[in-house]
Structure 1
């Protein structure tokens, strides 16, 4: 079986992309080469792969000016406008518990709604939360492609309902230690043969 190389020994972008890397590993490899380490995991992967293949440095994009509204401590009411700097904070959670109900919980669909509805009010958000909750019983949230572990977990447990998170972690560790053509590691029933 082919073993996962040390990230510092990888010499091509193609080889780098065959393996699963933690963001911290990518950041360390970039830092050791004197390259920028800002951005999400996929930005770091692209930056390192480009550098390995061409020697070019992909610079971080300048951040757009954002609202300075303080979601951590500002007083919130139903007329508060959702800004581009929105964050899920304890202050926001308290507001929604008071206005949407004591059972309020953030969920992926609602967090996506908040992110995509800058300019709307928190009153609109309360209505959206209730609509999402009503619809949520019938639909399953989509897991973003970046969240390989979450997708693997859902698919693994759907296929193996008698197994739990300990087994998910075991087989995920075995799976991600192996290469893949595109660097994506998805659940396959044959994964149970890995260990």
Structure 2
């Protein structure tokens, strides 16, 4: 995609989704979309306080090393910033870190249910492909090597990288 952008003088920075949308707009309208504005680096307010369970989730929340250390101290070494937890932070401005801890434990419970399948973001094409590959009954008994081989094959062709079940 970057080669295409360079060839047609399109901006190359941004997420895979942003670049894809930029290319699609260019191909359908001949218009060049500019980069989305860069995020401003967050600076700590002069009244900075240490993180606590009462810390409010703000619009500028970052999954920083400081936040990671705080949650590891509360939850334990098994703590990870999951995509689902990051979405919780984005969608729950004004709630507290205590709410985030509760959400994290609830997510762990959901993961124990074999039918639970968290949503995989569109930018994670490979993860979506492999999940669909292994859900296809045609591939029962196949290995990760088989899935990677199928991914490499579809990726090498023009068009969508979405797994299509065998008929």
The unaligned stretches of length 5 or more in structure 2 are: none
1:161 Cα offset (Å): 4.9
Can you list the C-alpha shifts for 1:75-104, whole angstroms capped at 9, x where unaligned?
A: 422222222233333332221121123322
CA shift, 1:184, in A, is 4.6
**How big is the shift at 1:166?**
1.9
Q: Could you list the runs of 4 or more consecutive aligned residues of structure 1 that deviate by over 6 angstroms after TM superposition?
A: none
The aligned length equals: 160
Provide structure 1 residue ranges, at least 5 long, that are not aligned to the other structure: 1-25, 191-195
1:77 is paired with a residue whose SS is coil
Tell whether the 8 Å contact from 2:120 to 2:128 is kept in structure 1 after alignment: yes
User: Which residue does 1:137 correspond to in 2?
Assistant: 112
1:166 aligns to 2:145 (yes or no): yes
Q: CA RMSD in A?
A: 2.8
Counterpart residue number, 2:21: 46
The answer to whether the 8 A contact 1:69-1:83 is kept is: no
Secondary structure in structure 2 of the residue aligned to 1:113 = helix
User: For the Cα contact (< 8 Å) 2:154–2:161, is it kept in 1?
Assistant: no
Residues 1:28 and 1:177: Cα distance change in structure 2 (over 3 Å): closer
Q: Which residue of 2 aligns with 1:146?
A: 123
Which runs of structure 2 are paired with 1:79-118 in the superposition (5 Å)?
79-118=54-93
TM-score, normalised to structure 2, is 0.76
Q: How many angstroms does 1:50 deviate by?
A: 2.9
- Distance in 2 (CA, whole Å) between partners of 1:52 and 1:86 is 36
2:72 is equivalent to residue 68 of structure 1: no
SS of equivalent to 2:26: helix
Residues 134 and 140 in structure 2, CA contact (< 8 A), matched pair in contact too: yes
Higher relative contact order (CA 8 A, sep 6+): 1
Whether the 8 Å CA contact 2:17–2:122 is kept in 1: the answer is no
